[in-house]
Structure 1
Amino acid sequence: MSDTRKFETIKVEVDDAVGRLTLNRPERLNAIGATMLRELAEAARWFDTRHDLRVVILSGAGRAFSAGADLKDSPLGQSAPASHKSWLARREGGQLGLRAADALENMHAVTIAQVHGYAVGGGVVLMAVCDLRVVADDASFFIPEIELGIPLAWGGIPRLVREIGPALTKELVMTCRRFTPDEAKSIGFVNRVVPPARLKDEVEKLAQQLTAMPSVPVAITKEHVNSVARAMSAGTTSFADGDVLLGSFGEEESRAAAAAYRGKTFGRKSPD
């Protein structure tokens, strides 16, 4: 039985035990703005009310998974800081990414990232919140936040440390260099790398394999692994990363870096 809900920037549907969450701003390479962050958190809560749901596939419409944070929908994309807003309002905006990432990661269903094209910055964080990751072999990954003059937020640092370790997290975040699907698989960040033509079918096959398994031990295994991962990273926290991000917005160096970065392109067309 199919079930859907209308959103502005994403598409969601549930077909029996499998749900699909599609980032749906293809004209912007699925850049993630404030509206999308709010809708992602709401979609996660909506999926959790579907008690027969077992798997949710997260993908992007068009030619990219996600170009990351939408610079036009953040203080770095504006000509001046949003000083007309109260500190509490600005703080709420700064925390949206972390709250969306936490909501997606804490969903009851097993989540699979289906990744093609670009996965940039916040797009990489969205991959990290998913339980499993299947990517096309022509995908491209990088984390440009430091080049933009800001730290990686949305809980990205602790999640990457958990998935790939401290040294590689430092390298990929501090150098902003691109890395390939094969490298991502070699460091344990992705589960499978497949030709683009096979990506959707491979993810659907994996989803069916999961839904064919007994539901209780699968759910317990997800919670058990996540609990162990949290215990291994005890003492780390990302609760204030939105505050740190907001602090960076007002820095002249950060604003100059953001302006320079916006002149760059993602292939044929810049999302900024």
Structure 2
Amino acid sequence: MKAPDLSEYRTLTYEVDDRIARITFNRPEHGNAITADTPLDLAHAVERADVDPAVHVILLSGRGKGFCGGYDLSIFAERSSEDGSADPRTGTVLDPTTQLENHDPGRTWDPMVDYQMMSRFNRGFASLLHANKPTVAKLHGFAVAGGTDIALHCDQIICADDTKIGYPPTRVWGVPATGLWAHRLGDQRAKRLLLTGDCLTGKQAEEWGLAIESCPADELDARTEALVARIAAMPLNQLIMVKLALNSALLAQGVATSGMVSTVFDGISRHTPEGYGFAQRAMEAGFREAVRERDEPFGDHKQNRPS
């Protein structure tokens, strides 16, 4: 297997072998947390695989201890690009300074500034759903908060039994912006998770129909390779036709509308009294302490799994 080019993208690596395009989040020291570069890198890599005639299936995974731990809140402290040059996002809705000013409780909040930013993250993640070719997410360790926004856009999810999957920020300061939970799980099970902020294990995700397969962590690589190899063995035109046909049913359910509504409410959730209070507490005591205080009343700090 050819070694991936680590300098090609800021947040992930890309390589192709045996009809499989492998996109791997590559910020393990930060839990592969999402930055402003993530949706751009992901959309570019997905399109690259989609137009490559040698690729039949796209596999998405993460290096390190987990798949993706959600958004990297340190991006709001960024002021320039990593190489020291002027950041082209300066002054736009993707500028962290613009978003910080729009989140100031002492100012009037413009919900569309918030929406313009978050909808662009969602657009990048949605490249996985709208790609012509099938996409598979391999989850291990954790896929939480914004990490689920990415994973749920994939056509297939395979995970380790002990993977932590869910959206705890729905307890305060967040609504899943891509609006995919009900489409993937059905109404009652989606509400069971999002009305509590509880998480599933990988095994539960398989039992609930969120994942197509779950297995012991030490078997995940082999089981994933077996799955993508079987998909890759199919004729490419058949894969595209089947995905288009099945996506038509999913899109008819109103996925685009769900995403738009959820993105607006995600912004609103950060501008409620509770949302401002959480943000203030995070500034005073640190984000980890604010999360601990958020989760402890539910008895599941660092656990977040329904009984």
Normalising to structure 1: TM-score of the pair? 0.85
The C-alpha deviation readout for 1:31-59, integer Å capped at 9, x for no partner, is 11212122112222222221221111110
Residue type of the partner of 2:139? V
Matched residue pairs, number? 262
Give the 3-state SS of the residue equivalent to 2:259 in structure 1.
coil
In 2, the alpha carbon distance for the partners of 1:255 and 1:49 equals 44
1:58 aligns with 2:84: no
What amino acid does structure 2 have at the position aligned with 1:204? E
Cα distance in 2 for partners of 1:170, 1:152 equals 12
User: Structure 1 residue 74: deviation in Å?
Assistant: 5.0
CA–CA distance in 2 between the matches of 1:234 and 1:130?
13
The question of whether the paired residues in 2 share the 8 Å contact of 1:150 and 1:249 is answered with yes
| Amino acid aligned to 2:267 | L
Specify the alignment match of 1:120 in structure 2. 144
Report how far residue 225 of structure 1 moved. 0.9
Secondary structure of the residue that 1:21 maps to in structure 2? Answer: strand
One-letter amino acid of the counterpart of residue 262, structure 1: R
**Structure 1: 5+ residue runs without aligned partners?**
268-272
1:82 pairs with 2:108: no
| Gaps in structure 2 of 5+ consecutive residues | 78-95, 104-108, 293-300, 303-307
Please state how far the C-alpha of 1:122 moved relative to its aligned partner: 1.6
Cα distance, 1:149 vs. partner?
2.0
Query: Deviation digits for residues 41-82 of structure 1, max 9, x if unmatched?
Result: 22222222212211111101100111112222359xx99962
Considering Cα pairs closer than 8 Å and 6+ residues apart, tell me whether 1 or 2 has the greater RCO.
1
Change (3 A) 1:47 1:255: farther
- How far apart are the structure 2 equivalents of 1:189 and 1:252? 33
**Which residue of the partner structure matches residue 199 of structure 2?**
178
Going from structure 1 to structure 2, the CA distance change for 1:89 and 1:43 (only over 3 Å counts) comes to farther
Tell me the percent identity: 27
Q: Which amino acid aligns with 1:28?
A: H
Following TM superposition, by how much is the alpha carbon of 1:188 offset from its aligned partner in structure 2, in angstroms?
A: 0.7
Q: 1:95 and 2:97 equivalent?
A: no
Do the aligned partners of 2:174 and 2:267 also contact (CA within 8 Å) in 1? no
| Change beyond 3 A, Cα 1:234–1:210 | closer
Residue 255 of structure 1: aligned partner: 276
Matches within 5 A, 1:1-272: 6-73=8-75, 82-83=100-101, 90-153=114-177, 155=178, 157=179, 159-233=180-254, 236-239=257-260, 241-258=262-279, 259=281, 262-263=288-289, 264=291
1:270 paired residue number: none
| Distance 1:225-1:135 versus aligned 2 partners, 3 A rule | same
Structure 1 residues 97 and 84, CA gap change in structure 2 (3 angstroms): closer
Structure 1 residue 226, shift from structure 2 partner: 0.9
Separation of aligned partners in 1, 2:218 and 2:204: 20
The answer (yes or no) to whether the contact 2:99–2:114 under 8 Å persists in 1 is no
Q: Secondary structure at the match of 2:168?
A: coil
Q: Distance in 1 between matches of 2:67 and 2:159?
A: 10
The answer to whether the Cα contact below 8 Å between 2:125 and 2:153 also exists between their aligned partners in 1 is yes
Give the SS at the match of 2:240: helix
Amino acid in the other structure paired with 1:11: T
CA RMSD between the two structures: 2.9
Q: Which residue of 1 aligns with 2:85?
A: none
CA change 1:170–1:204 in 2 (3 A) is same
1:130 alignment partner AA: C
Question: What TM-score does the superposition give when structure 2 sets the normalisation length?
Answer: 0.76
